[in-house]
Amino acid sequence: MDIKNHLLCNFWFVCFLTLLAGSAIAQNPIVPEGVYIADPTARVWPDGKIYVYGSRDESKDRYCSWHYDVMKSDDAIDWQIYPYRFASKGKNDEVSYADDLLYAPDCWYRNGIYYLYYCLSNGTEGVATSDNPTGPFKNGTNIELGGKHQIDPSIFVDDDGQAYYVWGQFAMKMAKMKPNMKELDLSTLKDSVLTEKKHYFHEGAFMTKRNGIYYLVYTHMGRADTPTCIGYATSNLPMGPYKYRGVIIDNDHSDPECWNNHGSIVEFNNQWYVFYHRPTNGCATMRKVCIEPIYFNEDGSIDEVEMTTQGAAGPLDPLKKLGAQRACLMKGNVRVQTISDSDEILGMIHNNDRAIYKYFDFTNDIKKLTVDVAPGEKPGRIDVTIDNAWSDYLGTIEVPGGGDLKTLKTLSCDIKSVSGVHTICFQFKGNGDDIFHVESFKFKK
């Protein structure tokens, strides 16, 4: 091969890797390994595609970062990530007046312009614009909030064209917007539309409308005094009063140090979804976007849904390899750990910890399970059951000792025949604080 062709091949190979790194699939979480996008606001724009605007976690020691990425999908299954679409510091810095961290954003489209609403860790909020839904967004401008500086802006435009701006922590604020979509009509400002006492409101409000009912979706503080839920309240008027209605999803047990949640709901291709996040790495941050279908009742209420591994795409094919980091529930000390910029595993596993995956669609001809494991110093095992930890065992993976927690071994076991849609539960056995690491698994005929 001559030099020209060699360089050309290298160029396309690099392009392929770049595209791959920015792509994800519907299995939860919907961001790639090593990428941490939180606080998702989902929007469907006139091009018929669905977009997610969120904050970007990059450290175990703080929430968020100085830039936003944007996610885009044609089908809510395959996702493309557009990095560095707006920043308050460094590359693509468009906030001339501050260098603070960027907390949760929102976006709205009007008259050919996409308005990105952002908030800074100093409590101020602002707006930037673009002619493209993925940005880049330019010219960040401060929004005057009448002295009510807090976090998490969200925008809603009603059928009559009136725009509303909601934000706040512990007590939600709301005001009408002026037609320029950059200023509030402070004469309409209303405080405590939602409160912690009446609605379990913590932060992260998102406003929408369905069948004449106004919905405020928000981070809910009502279980175990931690804001792990996405809750909601409804009203027949945009500025309330709002009645508390319940919980849409709870991300408790997605990580041993799970603290908060933040999300939105949206209709796409005749199906409603809730977008939310789960923390990883044994900390309150390093959060990842997830998606679940949701369903409304005749009275406008929303059934609470569970966290799953399958996400928007339906039950998983057990014959396809699944990353162990896609566990939708983890009990005990086990957690997702980042071991490189593009690789995550289950680690810090203690005796009797569990990892749970929902759901797989089995056929009777599946007879074997293989698991990619990095053994530790001492031996251990993985007991595999369906539906819960106390069901009949499908099989047991014996994990040898003498390992360094880095070198992978592909281990296998025969399993009992099973058919239908089921949960898979791994129960880990062994001695020590980090028995072994689990990278991936799949079933075989």
Looking up residue 130, the CATH number of its domain turns out to be 2.115.10.20
pLDDT at 388: 83
Given a cut of 90, whether residue 411 has pLDDT beyond it is yes
Of 294, 313, 330, the position where a domain reaches its end is: 294
d(CA 384, CA 395): 5
Residues whose CB is less than 8 angstroms from the CB of residue 237 and which lie 6 or more positions away in sequence, other chains included: 214
Q: Is residue 196 part of a domain?
A: yes
Q: Is residue 314 part of a domain?
A: no
Sheet holding 354-362, edge to edge: 329-331, 354-362, 420-430, 380-386, 393-399
Compute the average pLDDT of residues 287-303: 98
Q: Are residues 174 and 285 in the same domain?
A: yes
pLDDT-derived band of residue 23, with 50, 70 and 90 as boundaries?
A: low
Compute the average pLDDT of residues 134-157: 97
- For the chain, the residue count is 445
Q: What is the pLDDT of residues 207-260, one digit of tens each?
A: 999 999 999 999 999 999 999 999 999 999 999 999 999 999 999 999 999 999
Residues whose CB is less than 8 angstroms from the CB of residue 207 and which lie 6 or more positions away in sequence, other chains included: 154, 155, 156, 164, 166, 214, 215, 216, 217, 238
Compute the average pLDDT of residues 303-309: 98
Its pTM stands at: 0.94
pLDDT at 26: 64
Tally of domains in the chain: 2
Given a cut of 70, whether residue 317 has pLDDT beyond it is yes
- Residue 241 CB burial class (10 angstroms; 0-12, 13-18, ≥19): exposed
Least Cα distance to 253 among 229, 222, 274, 219 occurs for: 229
How high is the mean pLDDT of the chain?
94
pLDDT at 25: 64
Given a cut of 80, whether residue 10 has pLDDT beyond it is no
pLDDT at 390: 81
The pair of structure tokens assigned to 206 is 């998102």
Q: Is residue 303 part of a domain?
A: no
Q: Are 283 and 259 in contact (CB under 8 A)?
A: no
Q: Is residue 438 part of a domain?
A: yes
pLDDT at 21: 41
Q: Are residues 268 and 377 in the same domain?
A: no
Given a cut of 50, whether residue 291 has pLDDT beyond it is yes
pLDDT at 304: 98
pLDDT at 357: 98
The pair of structure tokens assigned to 391 is 């069901």
Q: Are residues 289 and 336 in the same domain?
A: no
Compute the average pLDDT of residues 161-169: 98
Of 294, 311, 332, the position where a domain reaches its end is: 294
Q: Are residues 256 and 360 in the same domain?
A: no
Given a cut of 90, whether residue 18 has pLDDT beyond it is no
Given a cut of 50, whether residue 111 has pLDDT beyond it is yes
Given a cut of 60, whether residue 3 has pLDDT beyond it is no
Which domain, by its residues, includes 366?
A: 322-444
The pair of structure tokens assigned to 414 is 């025969």
Q: Are residues 213 and 269 in the same domain?
A: yes
Q: What is the CA radius of gyration of the chain?
A: 23
Q: Are residues 282 and 347 in the same domain?
A: no
Given a cut of 90, whether residue 320 has pLDDT beyond it is yes
Q: Are residues 269 and 401 in the same domain?
A: no
Given a cut of 70, whether residue 154 has pLDDT beyond it is yes
Q: Are residues 371 and 408 in the same domain?
A: yes
Q: Is residue 250 part of a domain?
A: yes
Least Cα distance to 126 among 156, 103, 92, 158 occurs for: 103
Q: Are residues 73 and 161 in the same domain?
A: yes
d(CA 83, CA 70): 7
Residues whose CB is less than 8 angstroms from the CB of residue 280 and which lie 6 or more positions away in sequence, other chains included: 36, 255, 286, 287, 288, 325, 335, 336, 337, 338, 344
d(CA 68, CA 114): 15
d(CA 173, CA 190): 6
Q: What is the pLDDT of residues 326-381, one digit of tens each?
A: 999 999 999 999 999 999 999 999 999 999 999 999 999 999 999 999 999 999 99
Q: Is residue 305 part of a domain?
A: no
The pair of structure tokens assigned to 361 is 């669609």
Q: Among residues of the chain, what percentage have pLDDT more than 70?
A: 94
Type of residue numbered 56: R
Q: Are residues 277 and 341 in the same domain?
A: no
Q: Are residues 239 and 180 in the same domain?
A: yes
Given a cut of 50, whether residue 305 has pLDDT beyond it is yes
pLDDT-derived band of residue 392, with 50, 70 and 90 as boundaries?
A: confident
Query: What CATH number is associated with residue 369?
Result: 2.60.120.260
pLDDT at 389: 75
d(CA 122, CA 18): 34
d(CA 130, CA 107): 10
Q: Are residues 250 and 346 in the same domain?
A: no
Q: Is residue 311 part of a domain?
A: no
Q: Is residue 373 part of a domain?
A: yes
Given a cut of 90, whether residue 104 has pLDDT beyond it is yes
Q: Among residues of the chain, what percentage have pLDDT more than 90?
A: 93
**Residue 296, SS3 per DSSP:** strand
pLDDT at 61: 95
Question: What residues are paired with 50 via a beta bridge?
Answer: 44, 73
d(CA 18, CA 44): 26
pLDDT-derived band of residue 22, with 50, 70 and 90 as boundaries?
A: low
